[in-house]
Amino acid sequence: MSYFPWLTILVILPIFAGSLIFFLPHKGNKIVRWYTISICLLEFLLMTYAFCYHFQLEDPLIQLKEDSKWIDVLDFHWRLGIDGLSLGSILLTGFITTLATLAAWPVTRNSRLFYFLMLAMYSGQIGLFSSRDLLLFFIMWELELIPVYLLLSMWGGKRRLYSATKFILYTAGGSIFFLIGVLGMGLYGSNEPGLDLERLINQSYPATLEILLYFGFLIAYAVKLPIIPLHTWLPDTHGEAHYSTCMLLAGILLKMGAYGLIRINMELLPHAHYLFSPWLVIIGAVQIIYAASTSLGQRNFKKRIAYSSVSHMGFIIIGIGSITNIGLNGAILQILSHGFIGATLFFLAGTACDRVRLVYLEELGGISIPMPKIFTMFSSFSMASLALPGMSGFVAELVVFFGLITSPKFMLMPKMLITFVMAIGMILTPIYLLSMLRQMFYGYKLFHVPNENFVDSGPRELFLLICIFLPVIGIGIYPDFVLSLSVDRVEALLSNYYPK
């Protein structure tokens, strides 16, 4: 048992070290870049060390617990702790944020503020995945908003203010429901308000109140995840944001919604989740088809990738709605898998767009000849995204399929119908991804255009891409590497649904 406050250090280090950026000497961007990336690396190494030596995988209980009084008047505690569900997400956050800071090297305008905001996001994300208090969870959830809004509105495309405003309106609107749910849970049934997740797990509510609370939380997650019809901020945001911000949005921010859905709705409100789970499965299936077919109609290739993200989130929703060991493990695997693949596709789209200065597919063509490395990596990650066997996307989607098929909650006909719909979605995915590759890279349209910008990936970009490619292949070949983190915890969570 470790009594050293590992998690507090992991949460506070990035934002504290980030605030020192403003005191660095003004000698170009080089110092700021190296300082930021060394902070991210230090944090990632500390995280890996703490989890390797102080975390027992066999133990499904909360570990590395910390509990100290924060605001005495409100009886508000700083409670942190992790288990198998949050471990993968925290490691993903560390990995993607470190690479996103490396991807942000070309940013020269206000680079100090840019890197500080990235580190502030880092703290908020680690805090969210490790908080064991509902109010602290909410504070960390909100802490994300301001850095993302500033990153969007200051370093984005032509319509950056529109997309940043849309993002903040959607997420702040969802957060109102979240706050009402948090207050409702805290104030129900006891004289003094308590928001400790350990205590709330054993709390029971009247059926109507539980459904209302569930719905309130669901709206907040539906915006973040996103679940249709609350997804429309995502394509705009990804279309305008700088690609390092896109990596954080696609890699981590969307996963916070899925994590909240498992951590709060599944764990704390099991009866309502049992009632709503068929609807979640239906929404997930509709989302896979809808987003895939909408993606096919997008002319802007960044928006096409954004809609593919929405489509892949459908598998996570189905996995969570299936209420089976296999399905929930598949959803967690898809969270990590899409974190790697989605982030890299946006990085590749951004680097290609920086060189070509075009985003519409009909204006592109033939850029595989001047940029063979970008073409190779783009093709590889598109294959990973369309679930090619041997890559992580395939394993995750297959496990979700099995989870749905083995679910005792659904009858045979609905299962067959939803599996059929999911299969159509999986057929549409290669259609829109491969047609995008064809329009961007094949042909001769831009081959004759004299342009000095058409340089291929440099060593920094290749290093970043290979770093993400290795876990994608690794999880695809040996998924137990990731599943072993969450298997015991998932089993403990589902014992509320199917008592032995």
Q: In which residue ranges of the chain is pLDDT below 70?
A: 1-2, 28, 73-74, 189-194, 445-453, 499-500
Each residue's pLDDT tens digit, 458-481 = 788 888 888 889 999 998 889 888
Nearest 5 degrees, angle CA 179-CA 210-CA 332? 75
Q: Which residues contact 369 (CB under 8 A, 6 or more apart)?
A: 447
What is the crossing angle of helices 325-356 and 372-385, to 10°? 160
DSSP string over 88-105:
HHHHHHHHHHHHHHHHTT
- Retrieve residue 125's tokens: 């994300």
According to DSSP H, which parts of 80-206 are helical? 84-103, 111-130, 134-143, 145-154, 160-187, 197-201
Q: By the 8 A CB rule, do 167 and 237 touch?
A: yes
Name beta bridge partners: 63. 82
Give dist(CA 454, CA 465) in Å, integer.
19
Q: CA 54 to CA 44: how far, in whole Å? A: 15
pLDDT of residue 156: 76
pLDDT for position 65: 78
The confidence score (pLDDT) of residue 42 equals 92
Strands 63-71 and 76-82: antiparallel
pLDDT for 1: 47
What pLDDT score was predicted for residue 411? 82
Please say whether the beta carbons of 315 and 215 come within 8 A: no
